[in-house]
Chains A and B, each alone.
Chain A
Amino acid sequence: MTALVALLALPLAGALAAVVLPHGAVRGMVPALSVAMLAATAVLVAGLSAQAPTRLKLGQWPPPVGIVLEVDGLAAALIAMTALVMTAAALAALRSEQPAAAGARAAFGFWPLMLLLWAALNAVFVSRDLFNLYVGLELLSLASVGLVAIGGKPEALAAAMRYMLFALVGSLLYLAGVVLVYAAHGTLDIGLLADRTPAKPDALALALMTAGLMAKTALFPFHVWLPPAHGSAPAPASAMLSALVPKASFVILLRLWFEAMPDRAQDGALVLLAVLGTAAVIWGSLRALLQTRLKLVVAYSTVAQIGYLFLVFPLAGGGSAEMPWSAGAWTGVLFLALAHGLAKAAMFLAVGQWMAVTGSDRLDAMRGLATAMPMTSFAFALAAVTLVGLPPSGGFTGKYLLMTSAFAAGQWMWALVLAGGGLLAAAYLYRPLAILFARADAPGPATLPTRGMQAIPLCLAGAAIALGIASETPFELLSIGRPAAAEDGS
């Protein structure tokens, strides 16, 4: 319980302090805060008993009057992934976002926005209240837009503006759905809503909320804001935005479709979500193949990888909910989400280091960098292994679970999407890898990041691999408090 309060309050307090304190003090505070967050995460995960998720009634008011927070396996796993990615991004930013390198404006703004983003992510992962989730999403979106705008160039501002318009439309659609739910049932609590008497506007409310969250998750065809935004933010910000932010709105989608209103999960709607996911995998991968800037390759890869997550809906929802394969699909998709987060953050941090030495993220500027920066290049390669879905990575475990589930369900077309998407990922990641490991035409860059800096992306990519090797612990964690709709049917 204390760990949960710390995970919510520490980043908030840190953000407030980062607004007031002088820059040197903020730089001193950030590593200490990251260590405290990692420790609180460890306590939280360790304290999660196998059966019951941790619940916290804020203000001791029971719903529908008050707000309930709950840490289940899904929330704990995402909180842990967030803590790892945020710590890595913060360590990278301590170097790149200092006044001498990035200017006083960026050096001031990065830290409050990053810590507010951290607080918002944790708040969304544990919230059980539809309106509280809306407030969390607002904080998340505004902090994210600010982090894109930090780039400062005209294209960064244009990308931030487009991102904000999409995020605001998404918020309004989600809020309209929440209003309908409250008008019909007089409660916003997910647990109470699960036991509600169904009302006529429930389907419309679910559709509105889903449409809004799709825009925020950047699901095809609402993905157009993502590549320019993630491509023009500073590299540590891109790492956080790509690895973590789409996961938050995706978690709310899971809460809605599997916990609050599983009775409204019509098969047609579930298949539509997965079809849009399939389109995202194909379109994102093809666009990634065509990019000439490495950051955009990595950003379009996020569009594709988000597509996989939506395969969970037909495989674990609706008519599949009672079936034995639903648990595998649920856990498999969460494995993919975790592995993608770690690997994608590693990639953006690696690209950031290359941009720092070459001054550009054009693919042809990266030629032969593997000789000069072997650790960073190895990290990129390991992250690619995870994104393609090769063993022994976490990406492989996730795809394996999903494929088994798809075959068991007789829905083999989703298995084709997983296999085809893996091949496409291999294709679009081969190009940067081939250029990185090619023989250099010119002597390597004069100043290189230290070994310690190069180790940061390597640790993240290694964690994505470790997720596959030691898959039993995360597997058990993810099964804690799994919704009834995705329970083993045996």
Chain B
Amino acid sequence: MTWALDATLCAMILAVALATVLGRGVFRAIVFFVVYGLLLALAWVRLDAVDVALAEAAIGAGLTGVLFLAAFGRLARSGADAEPPPGRVNIAAALASAALTGALVWAWVALPLPGRPGPELAEALPRAGVENPVTAVLLNFRAWDTLLESVVLLAALVGLWMLARDEAWTEPLGLPQHVRPGGVMASFGRILPPVGVLVGAYVVYVGADRPGGAFQGGTVLAAVGIVAALAGLVRPPRVTRRAWRAALVAGPAVFLAAGLGGAALGAGFLTLPERIAGSAIFAIEIALALSIAVTLAFLVIGPPETGLEDQ
């Protein structure tokens, strides 16, 4: 029975992926891409990787889908949405992708079945301060990766802001949204945020022991902000607002301070002494979730704009 379920899931993933690449029309490709992300998330659940599934559903399907739809709408407004002629396939790209896929399939066959992680991890886990092994890896064993990743988000946002026009720099982020009063978006925008805040906070909170954590919870909180902005309930802030900029850097700053604190105490850079590791990780996760939520929301909302173009 499970075998049949997995086979169906694999077939659907492949079919939806093909439909995304080969189907006609950008809008249809976006819809298929979102479905593809959700199916992938299901596959991760089947592989017992619930943390990855949460991230895939939230970022791969959710936020990326919103970004694509926003880009599609913008292309349509600027009249640059001409579809490529049907039936044309980029031969070079197709060959390169096919070769890469073939090589990876060969490697998958040649590789031994993956075993459990080595005994080193099992020995280290009890000293990590948290029970969820994913959180232990992300915030303790490989904290340097995660610290740099959180800064990668910041680099992406600052880079995105560099796309703004100079005369729009002091305007609020993104285009102003106009929503029909009493319409679907308006009521959706009122119902979803309270639920989303609750879910997001919970996902961050349980991250220490169960699937969840700063990245997954932060994404849910970001989605709340985006929905509220799309529904016109809140006006996104200006780049020049210093409190919002502080929210962007709070997570990496707390993380870096914790790492340097370890060095100052003589334990070593990014070393969390076993006694306080649990509470330190919790504090870092909360700060990180705040920064990730604000950064992701700003990334989707876009750089500051005058809003004159769409008149």
Contact = CB atoms under 8 A, between A and B. Distances in A.
Contacts of A103: 166, 169
The A interface, classified by DSSP as helix, strand, loop or mixed, is helix
Contact of A59 (B118, B161, B256, B268): B268
Contacts of A132: 142, 144-145, 148
A19 to B, nearest CB: 5
Contacts of B242: 20, 22
B164 interface: yes
B271 interface: yes
A178 to B, nearest CB: 12
A104 B165 CA distance: 11
Contacts of B103: 204, 208
Contacts of B246: 20
Contact of B260 (A9, A57, A62, A184): A9
Contact of B162 (A12, A66, A136, A150): A150
B159 A142 contact: yes
Contacts of B170: 104
Interface string A442-460: 0000000000000000000
A19 B158 contact: yes
A67 B107 contact: no
B95 interface: no
A146 B267 CA distance: 36
B154 A112 contact: yes
Nearest to A17: B249
B120 interface: yes
B140 interface: yes
B111 A199 contact: yes
Contact of A204 (B106, B112, B164): B106
Interface in A189-204: 199-201, 204
B187 to A, nearest CB: 36
B268 A123 contact: no
Contact of B166 (A62, A142, A143, A152): A152
Contacts of B166: 103-105, 152
Counting contact residues on chain B (CB < 8 A from A), the size range is 35 or more
Contact of B269 (A58, A112, A123, A152): A58
B260 A5 contact: yes
Nearest to A66: B141
Contact of B270 (A58, A65, A119, A145): A58
Contacts of A56: 268-269
A199 B161 CA distance: 45
Interface string A50-84: 00000011111110111100000000000000000
A5 B262 CA distance: 11
Contacts of A214: none
A150 B159 CA distance: 8
A452 to B, nearest CB: 29
A101 B195 CA distance: 47
B120 A64 contact: yes
A145 B162 CA distance: 10
B162 A60 contact: no
Interface in B132-184: 140-145, 147-149, 151-152, 154-156, 158-159, 161-166, 169-170
Interface in A91-147: 103-106, 108-109, 112-113, 116, 119-120, 123, 131-132, 135-136, 138-139, 142-143, 145-146
B148 A59 contact: no
A193 B151 CA distance: 28
A206 B256 CA distance: 33
Nearest to A21: B242
A144 to B, nearest CB: 9
B21 to A, nearest CB: 16
B147, B154, B242 — most chain A CB neighbours (10 Å)? B154
A145 B159 contact: yes
Given A67-B144, A186-B118, A57 B155 contact: no
B117 interface: yes
A16, A56, A108: most-surrounded residue (chain B CB, <10 A):
A16
B114 interface: yes
B234 interface: no
A312 interface: no
A109 B159 CA distance: 8
B259 interface: yes
B270 A59 contact: yes
Contacts of B161: 105, 108-109
A180 B162 contact: no
B204 to A, nearest CB: 21
A370 interface: no
A180 B263 contact: no
Contact of B248 (A19, A104, A123, A139): A19
B163 A157 contact: yes
A183 interface: yes
A139 B144 CA distance: 13
A243 interface: no
A105 B150 CA distance: 23
A359 to B, nearest CB: 18
B155 A66 contact: no
For the complex of A and B, 9 pairs with smallest distance between CB atoms: A146-B159, A201-B107, A16-B249, A200-B110, A149-B162, A142-B155, A103-B166, A5-B269, A135-B148
5 contacts: A12-B147, A15-B151, A109-B162, A116-B155, A135-B145
Given A20-B249, A113-B162, 11 more contacts: A16-B154, A64-B118, A65-B121, A116-B154, A116-B155, A120-B148, A135-B148, A135-B149, A200-B111, A201-B107, A201-B110
